[in-house]
Amino acid sequence: MTTDVRRKVSAWLAVASVLVAGFLAATDAAAAVAAPAPCGGVPQITDVSGDGHHSSSDVLAAWLSEPAVGALQATIQVKSGSWLPEHDDAVINGSGFAFLFTAGAETHYVRATAPPANGGVLLYDYGTWTLAGGFQRAGDTTGSIVPGPSGTVTIDVPAATGTAIGTRLTNLFVLTYDGIGVDGPTWVDRAPGGTVPTEDSTFGADFLVGACSSPPPAGAASVQLSAGTVPVGGGAVAVSGRVLPPRAGVAVSLARVARRSLVSRFTTVADGTFSGFIPVREATVLRAVVEGVQSQSLSLRVRSRISVRAHRVRGTWAFTGDVAPALPGRLLLLRVGGFTPVKRGRIVTGHRYTMRVRDLARGRYQMVWLPTGGRADRAVSRTIRVR
C-alpha cells in the first residue's frame, strides 16, 4: 500500500472512529416517526426510480420542512428503506444519505449514516462539502427514520449550517453511497440527476428559510415546475408550475438548455400557477426562475424514431427512410441479432436518408439511428427481410 493510499485510508478511518463513537453513545432516538410534509406541499427534489444501483439508497425525492419557527428539517426518501448497508467488503463499511445545499459561499450538508448491523439506528452529522475535499464533518445532529418501501430519513438541520431565517438555500441535491474505499465513497445516487457528484449539474428548487413557519415574504419564496412527456420524435410539451406565495401577474422565465439555450416566458394567474407549451426536439434541461428564485431542474429525454423502406435494383439494395427529430447522427444497418454493422452511414442535416448495399446476404435486417452526442435516444426500425 502506497503512502498516499495509507494517508487516504487513515483519514477515512479517523472519520469512521468519530462516527462509531457517536453511535455507541446514541440512544434510539431514531424510532420511526412519520416524515413531515414538504414545505409548499411539493418536494424540492424529485428523482427517477432505478438510477441508483441499490434500492436501499436509490433516491426518489427529498424536501425541506419547517415544523416551527427556527426549526428546519431535511427529508430523503428512498426506494426501499432498509437503512442497512448492502456491502461488507469496503475499506469502511456503511451507507450514507446526505442532503446538500448552498448557503452564502459554502455548500453545507446534513447526513445520515448506517453502520453495518446497526439494527436501524442511524448516526447523524452535519458540515461542509466540496468536490475536491468531500465531507468535512462539523458536529452531530439528530433525526428519525421510516422503514419499508419508499422509506424516509428526516434530519434536523442545525443553525450552524447557515440557515438563519430569511436565508435563501440554493443548489439543493442529495448524494448517497454504500461503502468507502481508498478514493472515497462508492456513490449510488445523485438526486436530481445521475449517480456521481460530477455527473450532473441539475439541482432542486431554491428554498427560503422561514417561508413556511413565519409570515410569507413580500416576494417569491419558491417556484414549482412540472413537465409532460416529450412526444416520440420531439414536439410540443406541456409545462406548468406554481409560485409561492401565490400572486397573479408574476413574470416567469423558463430556461430551456440544450444545444443552445432559449427562454420561454409565462405569467401567473390568481392562484400563482402558470402553464403553456414549449417545443422540445432534443435532450433538454428546464428550470423556471421568478424574481431570482429557481425551480428544480427537470431533464427531458427525447425518444427518436426511424422508418425504413427497401428495394432491390440490379443486385444493389437501397434503404430509404426518415428519422425524427431531425438531428445529425449515425445510421447502422444491422442483421437482426447481430452486433457488427453491415453498413454505416450518416445524416448531417435534415431527416431523410438513403443507404445502398451491394451483394447483401439473405436474412433479416434493421436500421439503427444514433443521434450525435446523446441529443436524443437511439431508435430501431422495423425488420426488413432480404430474400
Q: What is the pLDDT of residue 181?
A: 85
Count Cβ atoms within 10 A of the Cβ of residue 108 and give its class: 0-12 exposed, 13-18 middle, 19 or more buried.
buried
State the cell numbers at 30.
431514531
For domain 305-386, give the CATH number: 2.60.40.10
Residue 48 has a pLDDT of 92
Q: Give me the residue spans of the domains in the chain.
A: 3-208, 222-300, 305-386
Name every residue whose Cβ is closer than 8 Å to that of residue 84 and which is 6 or more positions away in sequence.
56, 95, 114, 116, 117, 118, 120
Q: What is the per-residue pLDDT for 12?
A: 47
SS (H, E, C) 128-191: EEECCCEEEEEEECCEEEECEECCEEEEEECHHHCCCCCCEEEEEEEEEEEEEECCEEEEEEEE
pLDDT for position 170: 96
Let me know if domain 222-300 sits in CATH 2.60.40.10. Answer: yes
Please tell me the predicted confidence (pLDDT) of residue 30: 42
Distances (CA, A) of 373 to 94, 135, 149, 190: 37, 33, 36, 22
Cis peptide before 67 (omega within 30 of 0): no
Average confidence (pLDDT) per 10 residues, the chain, 387 residues: 45 44 39 82 94 93 92 97 86 92 96 79 95 95 96 97 94 95 90 88 93 78 95 97 95 95 97 97 97 96 96 91 96 95 91 93 96 96 94
Structure pTM?
A: 0.83
pLDDT the model gives residue 18: 42
Which residues, 6+ apart, have CB-to-CB distance to 28 below 8 Å?
A: 121
- The length of the chain in residues reads 387
Q: What cell was used for 63?
A: 424536501
pLDDT at res. 378: 97
Same topology between domain 222-300 and domain 305-386: yes
The residues facing 5 across adjacent strands are none
